[in-house]
Amino acid sequence: MKVLVISPGVLPIPASKGGAVEKLIEAYIKYNEENHKVDFSLYTVKEEHDYNTKFKNTKYIYIDTQSFGYKVSRAVRYIINNKLPQIHIGNAFISRVKKKLKKDKINYDVIIVENTPFNVLELRKLYPKTKIIYHIHNDYLNCETKKAMKILDACDEIIAISDFIKKRIQTIKPTNKISVVYNGIDIEKFCQEIPKDEIKKNKEKYQLTNKDIVFLYTGRIVPEKGVKELILAFCKILKDTNNFNLKLLIVR
C-alpha cells in the first residue's frame, strides 16, 4: 500500500528541531521500518541531512523553505489567507508540494494530512477519488474555521487526538467520520534507573536540594505553548505559599 504523508511544513522530520506533530510522524515512520506494512512518501521541510538512505520504507521529498522565492510566496499567501475573509489559496508549503505531485504523477492508496486543515482541500483537488485521512492535533477545524464545511466534506476520515478536538469539529455539523486516538509515549524512556551520583551532579548544577519540589516544563519556547503563563502562575504560587522550596525547571 502506498501512503502519502503531508507534514505541516513548519519543522523537519525527523524532529531534530522539536514539534509534537513532527515527533509523532517520526514515531510511526520508525515503527513502519521495524514492522513494514506500507510504503510511505513523506513531504517535509528540507534539512542538511538526506534520510532516504536511512529509511527503506519511507521516501523523503524535501521542500526548500529557506529560499527567497518561498519566503516571498509565504508572506503573500499569509496576507491573502488572513486578510480576505472568504478566500484561501493554500500556504507556500502545500503550493510547492502540489507542483511536485503534479510532476511525479504517482497514485496513492491513502493520503494522510497532518494538522493543517486547508491542505485537505488542496489535496482533494489533485486526488478526487483517493482516501484522505485528516489527522488533527490542535483546535484548527471548527465552526469558526474558514471553509469548514468544505474541509469536513473533503475528508474521508478524521483522527482527533482528544475528545475536545472531536467536539470542536462537530460544531460544524454532526458526523461519524471522527475517531479519537490519543497520542502515546514510550514509557520505557521514563522508567530508567539513573545513578545517584548523576542525580546529585545535576542537582548541584541547577542549584537544587533534596527538599525542593521541582516542576518541569520541557518543550519549545514559543507563545502558543503557554510558557509565559506558566511562569506567571508559578510566581503567584510562590507569593501565595511563601514556599521557596518550589522550583520551576524549563528545559528546551
pLDDT tens, residue by residue, 139-176: 999 999 999 999 999 999 999 999 999 999 999 999 99
In this prediction, what percent of the chain has a pLDDT beyond 90? 77
> Which DSSP symbol is given to 85?
T
Domain count for the chain, please give it: 2
Is residue 188 included in any domain, yes or no?
no
Q: How confident is the model at residue 28 (pLDDT cuts 50, 70, 90)?
A: very high
pTM check: above 0.75: yes
| Mean pLDDT confidence for 65-89 | 88
Residues 159 and 238 in one domain: no
Is residue 74 included in any domain, yes or no?
yes
Residues 197 and 145 in one domain: no
Residues 138 and 210 in one domain: no
86: pLDDT strictly greater than 80: no
16: pLDDT strictly greater than 90: no
Residues 6 and 76 in one domain: yes
Is residue 109 included in any domain, yes or no?
yes
Which position has the higher pLDDT, 15 or 171? 171
For the domain that residue 108 is a member of, what is the CATH number?
Answer: 3.40.50.11930
Is residue 186 included in any domain, yes or no?
no
Residues 42 and 118 in one domain: yes
Which residues have C-beta within 8 Å of that of residue 19, sequence separation ≥ 6? 10, 11, 220
| Mean pLDDT confidence for 33-47 | 95
Please give the pLDDT value at position 84: 82
Q: Share the mean pLDDT of the chain.
A: 93
Is residue 140 included in any domain, yes or no?
yes
Residues 151 and 30 in one domain: yes
Residues 145 and 207 in one domain: no
CA 3, CA 107: separation in Å to the nearest integer?
9
Which position has the higher pLDDT, 82 or 29? 29
Find residue 194's DSSP bridge partners.
Answer: none
Is residue 97 included in any domain, yes or no?
yes
| Mean pLDDT confidence for 230-252 | 92
Residues 117 and 39 in one domain: yes
Please give the pLDDT value at position 193: 86
Q: How confident is the model at residue 89 (pLDDT cuts 50, 70, 90)?
A: confident
Q: Determine the structural domain holding residue 228 and report its residue range.
A: 193-251
Is residue 185 included in any domain, yes or no?
no
Residues 169 and 199 in one domain: no
| Mean pLDDT confidence for 170-184 | 95
Residues 219 and 158 in one domain: no
Q: C-alpha angle with apex 218: 159 to 16, nearest 5 degrees?
A: 70
- Which is nearest to 23 in space by CA: 38, 2, 8, 40? 8
Measured CA to CA in angstroms, residue 155 lies from 104, 114, 131, 175 at distances of 23, 12, 8, 11
Please give the pLDDT value at position 185: 80
Q: Do 52 and 60 touch, CB atoms closer than 8 A? A: yes
Compute φ and ψ for 91, nearest 5 degrees: -85, 175
DSSP element (H, E) containing 133: strand 131-136
> Which DSSP symbol is given to 179?
E
Please give the pLDDT value at position 218: 87
| Mean pLDDT confidence for 86-98 | 90
Is residue 187 included in any domain, yes or no?
no
